[in-house]
């Protein structure tokens, strides 16, 4: 598939982002055809190039960096030099979207904020992903995934009061905010089709994780009650003889009865007929399930639970999930030849359109790989401008 058939072909994105929040957003834009020009610090580049250790010093690529930066072109430019700043301004003049994930106010101080760029290009869309938003008591605090987990109530909840609070081990906040940033950019591009003008787009880690708790927030605001889906009395993790499984005892007329039938137990639902009584006796119910499941294999219990149409699943490692046939059937694996590494497998985009298949147009770029090419394009654009 060639670039002109992709929905964002012809859209130019100047990408000042690094690490996770911004790069995962701009990679989606690149996957769907945008010309994403990644702005990198001379000699250093995106922090992800170094953070996990380098195997290829010449290209400064590693597989973690590569997982976030396909379908982009890299240019090394120093915004602190007159030449570098002018080149960046020239790029922004040609751009549809400028994206950053710096702290609030940094782009304005560098001279690339919306007020400055919109004077050069009224159609420009300036999209920012911050930790906490552009104003307020935390606006200039460094944003990071773990901090957002801690400050929004996510880390405070556990499935069981006896389980210590802990850091969620996947970058939940960064990815969520990155996808919200994509939504904002797409909405602004559609709005520009109607008005002819660009605008500012803003998301934050803080807002994204608050928004993810929309049901919990509604319950708290209305009733001052904590809604904790993981702590429901018929939901839990249980160890069989050869591995763990989860059961979600919900969305059925009488899930306790059905769980007892699947686990070959006496029906406990007459004793605990409603959610209130099940909550009050959760330790007993959970111990009953746990003791029973521990007597046989995971496969045995999953087959019986499935037969009762109960929500259940094996608890697997990421490696096991990646090897599952469903993962490949869903098109979630993307293979590429990465310099120094050879063939590597990365996660593909999870968005599936019936008429469009994203393609790998650019490998994750070496640091500054496209500097000469992009500067030549700028020079050609200047020459073609009317005197």
Residues labelled as active-site residues: 174
Entry field: residues in the chain = 387
SS (H, E, C) 7-57: CCCCCEEEECCCCCHHHHHHHHHHHCCCEEEEEECCCCCCCHHHHCCCCEC
In the chain, which ranges are E strands?
12-15, 35-40, 72-76, 97-100, 125-130, 200-204, 235-240, 243-248, 311-314, 333-338, 342-347
Please give the Cα distance from 378 to 111 (Å, whole number). 19
Please give the Cα distance from 238 to 247 (Å, whole number). 8
Structure tokens at 202: 């803003």
CA atoms within 13 Å, Cβ hemisphere of 79: 16
Question: CA angle, corner 253, sides to 251 and 257, nearest 5?
Answer: 105
Helix 205-212, helix 214-223: angle, nearest 10? 70
Residue 298, SS3? helix
Q: What DSSP state is assigned to residue 125?
A: E
Structure tokens at 224: 């001052």
User: What long-range pairs does 14-17 form, CB within 8 A, spacing at least 24?
Assistant: 14/39, 14/88, 14/91, 14/92, 14/95, 14/97, 14/98, 14/99, 15/39, 15/72, 15/99, 16/98, 16/99, 16/100, 16/101, 16/102, 16/107, 16/112, 17/99, 17/100, 17/101, 17/129
245 CB-contact burial (10 Å; exposed 0-12 / middle 13-18 / buried 19+): buried
């Amino acid at each position: 598939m060639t670039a002109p058939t992709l929905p964002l072909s012809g859209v130019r994105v100047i990408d000042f982002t690094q690490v996770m929040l911004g790069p995962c957003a701009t990679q989606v834009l690149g996957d769907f055809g945008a010309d994403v020009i990644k702005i990198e610090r001379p000699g250093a580049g995106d922090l992800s190039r170094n953070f996990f250790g380098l195997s290829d010093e010449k290209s400064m690529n590693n597989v973690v960096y590569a997982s976030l930066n396909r379908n982009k072109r890299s240019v090394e430019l120093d915004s602190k030099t007159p030449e570098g700043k002018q080149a960046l301004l020239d790029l922004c003049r040609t751009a549809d979207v400028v994206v950053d994930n710096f702290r609030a106010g940094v782009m304005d101080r560098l001279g690339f904020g919306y007020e400055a760029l919109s004077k050069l290009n009224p159609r420009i869309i300036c999209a920012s992903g911050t930790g906490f938003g552009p104003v307020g008591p935390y606006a200039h605090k460094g944003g990071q995934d773990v901090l957002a987990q801690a400050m929004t109530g996510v880390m405070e909840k556990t499935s069981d009061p006896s389980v210590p609070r802990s850091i969620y081990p996947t970058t939940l906040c960064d990815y969520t905010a990155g996808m919200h940033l994509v939504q904002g950019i797409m909405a602004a591009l559609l709005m520009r089709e109607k008005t002819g003008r660009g605008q500012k787009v803003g998301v934050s880690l803080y807002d994204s994780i608050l928004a993810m708790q929309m049901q919990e927030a509604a319950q708290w605001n209305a009733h001052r009650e904590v809604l904790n889906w993981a702590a429901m009395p018929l939901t839990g993790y249980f160890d069989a003889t050869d591995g763990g499984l989860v059961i979600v005892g919900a969305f059925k007329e009488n899930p306790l009865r059905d769980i007892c039938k699947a686990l070959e137990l006496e029906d406990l639902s007459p004793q605990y007929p409603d959610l209130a009584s099940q909550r009050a006796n959760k330790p007993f119910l959970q111990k009953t399930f746990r003791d029973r499941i521990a007597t046989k294999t995971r496969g045995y219990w999953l087959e019986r639970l499935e037969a009762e149409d109960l929500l259940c699943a094996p608890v697997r490692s990421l490696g096991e999930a990646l090897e599952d046939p469903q993962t490949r059937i869903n098109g979630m694996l993307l293979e590429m030849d990465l310099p120094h590494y050879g063939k590597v497998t990365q996660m593909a985009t999870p968005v599936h359109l019936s008429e469009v298949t994203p393609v790998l147009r650019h490998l994750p770029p070496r640091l500054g790989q496209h500097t000469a090419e992009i500067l030549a394009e700028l020079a050609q654009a200047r020459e073609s401008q009317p005197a």
